[in-house]
Structure 1
């Protein structure tokens, strides 16, 4: 962050309370940072909403709390309170120590509130609710449900609501819960409270403002500090996966596959994973680093392999695993080792270390495989290079397969490598995915209806409509859908209505409200078990639309879905015809339209990429050669009379919508990430896209009729089917984008071909 004027010349510094100024001097600061300078006048009078967006370690917490605490110190009668909401208990614990140090001289109490905090400390705050309360959305929900009658006294002196890691909430069920809770806090407090959002990663400030104050973005002051003064060092290394060894053979009926054997394959000891681990051991030992594979299984493999390499070299182990399935003690051991700095320690981790828990100075961030998203990559990279003058360092490792006559498009175009390059280029240009904020999240509305009823001891339909929907939190829910939902909740005994019209908890609702799991608005993605002929193949998370007859990829093979049992979480499959399955199986995060467009740009160019090694450059050259030989420079399709591959260069939500639409009009279609594979000739596909272009995106029930796995969110089971379909489509699919693509293609085909002109995807 570029230094600003010294404190003695800073008009913002002069507005801080004298004791707060003394704390600043005691830290040895000679200047306030950019975000801090601008946040003080915006926040000190508690008269507007503010978003502070700045890079990691740019002092966002101090930017918010220096003026907030000044306000509390300037107006001590009655003592004021601040509600700080965080997505993680670990982050609350981290911030508690940081804010306690800041508030100690001010004699302002700082109270952490979550399941691990002793009840005695919570009761002390309830008796004198002032100072800073650090809490998760789930614990705040529990306060409403269990202490509804005392909430007015709890929040009568509240002056600010602060939301940390704002980006982690936008576009999710938990975000809808948070929006509803902030509105309910204001209703109880009897006044509009300034809302303060803190984040290092916000792709669209207008969406962030709309999230923070729905319907009133003009009230939100955005403080965006983009200049970090930090250099970025990047190297992407390419690795060729060696031929796989056949370990054992399992007979499969010849009618089910092109081959009479199914081969279970594993990597040879000289394989690319071992080479990647060896290189990491060589360059990372002796420093603190974060290593991000793309699954818990890979975390365990690399942590074990790196530990063994330390043993072989006769040095203490420096590599520790960190993911959500590990015990709290093991995770905290890794966090303490990182924070201590000596001896050196590196964590092999999932997204558990992506958010802003203080883990000290990190030298290098390692990404194995393509990142989940540009936003995620930026968040991870913000962990590196926090010391003045030290660059942020990213090392990325990409594995690709040797090409054969049977290679699929994702291998031909080196999808892992090209997507990684595209994401890094977008990161450098300061673009990252905007949140998908238009989701209905009707599941969370069910939870909030039950919560409000429990809080108030009953609520009328008018009160629920006014408090949850008219306020803007669930503004996309129509009145007919709302009343259909209430009727459905009654039929499922979640609510009952007394003679006066008051909604009360029903028999089932009472039981669920009193269960500790009620307070969470979401559940973790459940895995489906794959079964063939009664024998389990394994388990996979399923986040994409799933229909009978479609093909999926698992364990290096293609499988056709015969049946789906939603309640038992079982998918019955048989071996499917088809060539080699792609190395890039698409089970990770949904890829955005703009990322795919940038991938096409990477493939269209001829100049070398400056931040990749020699092997990666060879792989990129192969990808560009395939891109040209397939004719993808100026067309969308290639294939045969019986099967056509449609390369849309659109994101997964658009492609998934196109798959449903093609199947809806009678053309069998499946997605493999980059391309859709459609039964029929290119002329058939063109005719099909003309039909898709004429579809009504509002006909959600018709388009989603064959989807088996509509239940994605915690309370989806309680929704009427029409509302369930609308909610699913709003968060999982881009129906309008699919129809727009179909119209574009159909128009160009009608005028003499499928020439591709570069378009900007918004």
Structure 2
């Protein structure tokens, strides 16, 4: 490594450590990142594939910079996961011990004595979650200047996991608030394997978007991909067909195949829900018992206790026995679980970025390929099959996602949300930090020109303050100082306050006083909408928001929309690729014969329904608007139609429109009218929408602010209007 200019810039203690560890050369991402980070005067984004050495690319120069200071400074590493902090502590502690740099893990499982030692001498490397950093600002407001006096870098790991989320907006605000106390800019280093648009990622890292970017060539493993299709013999009403043996059920067949191909190696299996994690873990454990073999299959999801999750992680890390984790996205991020032979995806992945992140866990040994096994389930076809069944949506969406990942495309970061829920939290937190703030001070701190909520107007902020005052969240003393009200004080002093995100809340589905079950709700609902639950179609009669209950009645006739129960929101590029697949006649090399048959059946249905020419499909009492747009634009179209008092709902195929006695031509006329006029104001578009509360503090927003924050994150009116004008006026 003596010929490496980047290596020669590192602190001699780090050079000595790397020689002792047997490093023969720096990786590409490290060669590129070290000279950018080392001076400590700019923000830097380090993007490279999983296991490419991003962590070292950040810490080798950051530690060199820290050690060149007298006295040494402080690096704050921020992680989305406590488990990732524990991993990084193990990786950094050996290096930093030789350098005599203390490393401080700080989260809820770390003992108070360790935290007390850091507070007495805040230097070295602090590994912390946003929630723990929030608690520090809330509870130690007067000490923040002293604690972070020597802060030299923020290092944000898994940057993509924060972008577009309430937690990400919280993180932006926390870093900004610390910089305001220090009255100086602290360089920020963002690390990620999946960033679709570097300019947007840089804008998330800091509002001016002026970060230097290291976009290292992947140089990673080749991919081996096979998608297997399984036909479900049980029809949509949930009643098994006569003489259909239990072994023919698709999940059982998938479980049997997983057992056959995964035994004896370490793997990750990603179903698309916690319920499915439990199902496949049970099937695979049962297969081990029947074969009289030790268990090799372990569950991992957010509802499990930390002890069970740690047990699974430990099983994957140890070398003596093979282990496979059946997991949700909890193992999608960079927790060190050792070498994984392959990744299995059951059903369409939540997003292309998620698929790419998951596949990056495989093929990390030199010379090994990354292996992806996909599994798709489609209902068997008969004369009564609906359009969505006939189009084989899961197969086509999975194929589209894989093909886009192979082209190295993934969804661009979502940076446009207002995130007013988190603004409520940050306002209460800042008041705790400073012991009170005047309204102008609070607005300048959180919504000023360089602040994370800079798009919030003074009028909207004033409306927020008024509403929080009416709700006893805030009070104002005689001098105009904002203080916590009775309820605000209660909330801020509870440990649950520090998280910007809410735990998953599910709505009970009730009919005639009988609870059918619970369902996570992730899209706008209105009475009159139909949903699928328990294999049946139900009509939404009433939404009881305070009691998280949806009252339904059995629905008759028509093709029900697919109901989004917590899956990922689909991008327009994915739907456009799906349409390209339908239009093509080419076989797809990574599909097995059954999956290829599903694709061929979908193509046949596409042409049978003339979907290349038809935009509107008559389905009896409903018309289906085939947009091939993403969920945000489809929901925008549904809102535009609702403003004309036409019931419409976004679904996987586009927008479902209730005809209410209208002819198809009359529906077309309404769409043409919408295309010829400006979009209605937001309040009008969402006037009849219910169940817009999504985030933790949304319930404290006024109706107009709630509509604003929901629309900013979930609805794309501009794309919807562009599509309408192009389709019905022939203009771009």
For the aligned pair, the TM-score class normalised by the smaller chain equals over 0.9
Match of 2:636 in 1: 657
Match of 1:256 in 2: none
Question: Pairwise mapping of residues 325-724 of structure 1 onto structure 2 (< 5 A)?
Answer: 325-470=303-448, 471-579=450-558, 587-639=566-618, 643-678=622-657, 679=659, 680-694=662-676, 696-697=678-679, 699-724=681-706
Change (3 A) 1:530 1:466: same
Match of 1:315 in 2: 293
State the Cα distance separating 1:548 from its structure 2 match. 0.8
User: Distance between the aligned counterparts of 2:711 and 2:420, measured in 1?
Assistant: 12
Match of 1:324 in 2: 302
Match of 1:114 in 2: 107
**Does residue 135 of structure 1 match 2:114?**
no
Match of 1:230 in 2: 221
Match of 2:3 in 1: 9
RMSD: 2.0
Q: TM-score, normalised by structure 2?
A: 0.96
1:449-479 Cα shifts (integer Å, max 9, x gaps): 1111110011111211111111230121111
User: Distance between the aligned counterparts of 1:590 and 1:733, measured in 2?
Assistant: 11
Match of 2:717 in 1: 735
- The SS at the match of 1:116 is coil
Q: Is the 8 A contact 1:82 1:131 kept in 2?
A: yes
Change (3 A) 1:687 1:531: same
State the Cα distance separating 1:247 from its structure 2 match. 8.1
Change (3 A) 1:694 1:714: farther
State the Cα distance separating 1:266 from its structure 2 match. 11
1:229-283 Cα shifts (integer Å, max 9, x gaps): 310010001111114598889xxxxxxxxxxxxx999993421111111111111
Q: Is the 8 A contact 1:235 1:395 kept in 2?
A: yes
Q: Is the 8 A contact 2:235 2:379 kept in 1?
A: no
Question: Pairwise mapping of residues 43-122 of structure 1 onto structure 2 (< 5 A)?
Answer: 43-75=37-69, 77-122=70-115
- The SS at the match of 1:691 is helix
Q: Is the 8 A contact 1:494 1:505 kept in 2?
A: yes
User: Distance between the aligned counterparts of 2:655 and 2:242, measured in 1?
Assistant: 27
User: Distance between the aligned counterparts of 1:248 and 1:232, measured in 2?
Assistant: 40
User: Distance between the aligned counterparts of 2:423 and 2:414, measured in 1?
Assistant: 18
User: Distance between the aligned counterparts of 2:617 and 2:239, measured in 1?
Assistant: 36
- The SS at the match of 2:580 is helix
Q: Is the 8 A contact 2:29 2:48 kept in 1?
A: yes
Q: Is the 8 A contact 1:371 1:377 kept in 2?
A: yes
Q: Is the 8 A contact 1:338 1:344 kept in 2?
A: yes
**Does residue 204 of structure 1 match 2:186?**
no
1:558-610 Cα shifts (integer Å, max 9, x gaps): 11110011010000000112356578866511111110000001111111001
- The SS at the match of 1:530 is strand
State the Cα distance separating 1:60 from its structure 2 match. 0.6
Match of 1:221 in 2: 212
Q: How many residues align?
A: 728
Q: Is the 8 A contact 1:245 1:266 kept in 2?
A: no
- The SS at the match of 1:151 is helix
Deviates more, 1:582-591 or 1:563-572: 582-591
- The SS at the match of 1:692 is helix
State the Cα distance separating 1:643 from its structure 2 match. 3.7
User: Distance between the aligned counterparts of 1:362 and 1:126, measured in 2?
Assistant: 39
Q: Is the 8 A contact 2:425 2:500 kept in 1?
A: yes
User: Distance between the aligned counterparts of 1:41 and 1:294, measured in 2?
Assistant: 41
Match of 1:21 in 2: 15
User: Distance between the aligned counterparts of 1:587 and 1:559, measured in 2?
Assistant: 18
State the Cα distance separating 1:666 from its structure 2 match. 2.7
Match of 1:290 in 2: 268
User: Distance between the aligned counterparts of 2:665 and 2:246, measured in 1?
Assistant: 44
Q: Is the 8 A contact 2:30 2:57 kept in 1?
A: yes
Unaligned runs of at least 5 residues, structure 2: none
- The SS at the match of 1:83 is strand
User: Distance between the aligned counterparts of 1:80 and 1:442, measured in 2?
Assistant: 35
Match of 2:29 in 1: 35
Change (3 A) 1:600 1:132: same
User: Distance between the aligned counterparts of 2:549 and 2:233, measured in 1?
Assistant: 33
- The SS at the match of 1:132 is strand
Change (3 A) 1:265 1:511: farther
Deviates more, 1:381-390 or 1:312-321: 312-321
User: Distance between the aligned counterparts of 1:42 and 1:188, measured in 2?
Assistant: 26
State the Cα distance separating 1:547 from its structure 2 match. 0.4
State the Cα distance separating 1:664 from its structure 2 match. 2.5
User: Distance between the aligned counterparts of 2:215 and 2:409, measured in 1?
Assistant: 14
- In the alignment, which of 144, 163, 175 is matched to residue 170 of structure 1? 163
Deviates more, 1:133-142 or 1:582-591: 582-591
Q: Is the 8 A contact 2:643 2:680 kept in 1?
A: no
User: Distance between the aligned counterparts of 1:246 and 1:671, measured in 2?
Assistant: 23
Change (3 A) 1:560 1:210: same
State the Cα distance separating 1:640 from its structure 2 match. 6.0
State the Cα distance separating 1:322 from its structure 2 match. 1.1
Deviates more, 1:671-680 or 1:86-95: 671-680
User: Distance between the aligned counterparts of 1:661 and 1:439, measured in 2?
Assistant: 20
Q: Is the 8 A contact 1:627 1:633 kept in 2?
A: yes
Match of 1:239 in 2: 230
State the Cα distance separating 1:669 from its structure 2 match. 2.4
Match of 1:152 in 2: 145
1:57-101 Cα shifts (integer Å, max 9, x gaps): 0111100000011111212x2221011111111111111111101
Change (3 A) 1:270 1:527: same
Change (3 A) 1:547 1:695: farther
- The SS at the match of 1:8 is coil
Q: TM-score, normalised by structure 1?
A: 0.93
1:375-417 Cα shifts (integer Å, max 9, x gaps): 1101111100110111110000001111122222221110000
- The SS at the match of 1:91 is helix
State the Cα distance separating 1:537 from its structure 2 match. 0.6
Change (3 A) 1:533 1:201: same
- The SS at the match of 1:356 is coil
